[in-house]
Amino acid sequence: MAKSAKTKSKGKSRAKADALNFTYDLEGQKAAVWKAGNSKEVSVRKLPISKGVTGVSMRLKPGGIRELHWHAIAAEWGFFITGKGRVTVVNPQGQWDTQEYGPGDIFFVPQGYAHYIENIGTDECHFLLAFNNGEFNEFSTFSITEWIAQTPREVLVKNFGLPADVFDKFPEKEVYMALGAPPGKKTLSQGGKLDTPRLSHKFRLRAQEGRVYSGGTVKMATIDNFPASNVMAGALMTLKPGALREMHWHPNANEWGYVLKGNVRITLFAADAGSSTQKVKAGGVFYIPMGCGHYLENVGKEEVEMLLVFDNGVYEEISISEWIADTPRDVAATVFGIPEKTLSEFPESEVFISSGKR
């Protein structure tokens, strides 16, 4: 319901504006830096609306390793932007899944599973991580080095059946990122390989055929084609200049987006809380709460490319064009107060991406 602006104090409208802020310049932030690479994070601490997803932009130098670790409160969904990496995931059955990654490939790590990421190329490796919990903190993950550092020597002796001095040279605190041997000198993990390849944590998103519209393209990774990723889904979307990703919402998921290329203008419709329109350029992120209406427009001169992540493995959406097309004309005519004839000119099915031209 619309409210009169006059009845609100200035303080209140500012609080409302903050509550409706749904964008953040992730790459514009200062990184946390290690010898082997760096990391930038956006969670509810930086973007309060982002309750369902935390995002991280991470770069590893050649030979760099994001150390052996796990996450207690979130699953991890990763997208390789540049470089060549290797991700190893260990499941509770003790099976390894070690896969190599290039630009456009994604990986999924179930909540609590052991994993690590290596740069195996000769250039910097840049990847994006999304976690299905806005309270997640990438800088307080469970790291193997930190656990060993916090464990009394006599326990380590009993645990591994080794002399105490073996642990003299172990790190005294968390390593987080380590710089290793030059690329090409590494060996694959030992032990049992994953015996259910269908549940591999690797999926080649950019290599998919996808769907083509007059205004752009979309490639999806959902539980249907990437079954390991049971609690998160993702998409790679392009919009031509002037194109519109149509008015829609997601009944079952929050949406987190990262702009890879171009300039996009996004509008969030939050019912009584109002609407908010914000621009996001390459390196920026946005967050659409579950069930909130939204649409995205390419307002720049170059193509927009975006990575979209959902905190549900099942992809669901309702598009306004399809809804109107499926509504009996007499019902729609009464609701909108227009002649039925006008409704016959509306699209007969979902638009999804409009070229922006009539």
The catalytic site residues sit at 66, 69, 71, 76, 115, 138
Contacting positions for Mn ion (CB under 5 A)? 76, 255
For Mn ion, the closer of residues 76 and 97 by Cβ is 76
Helix ranges (H only) for the chain are: 10-19, 144-150, 153-160, 320-326, 329-336, 340-343
Beta carbons within 10 angstroms of residue 72's beta carbon: 11
DSSP assignment of 112-123 equals: T-EEEEEE-SSS
CA 232 to chain centre: 9
Question: Is the CB of 114 or the CB of 156 nearer to Mn ion?
Answer: 114
* Alpha carbon distance 95, 191 (integer Å): 7
H/E run at residue 185: none
DSSP, collapsed to helix, strand or coil, labels residue 169 as helix
Q: How far is the C-alpha of 106 from the C-alpha of 233, rounded, in Å?
A: 11
- The CA-based angle 87-91-94, given to 5 degrees, is 110
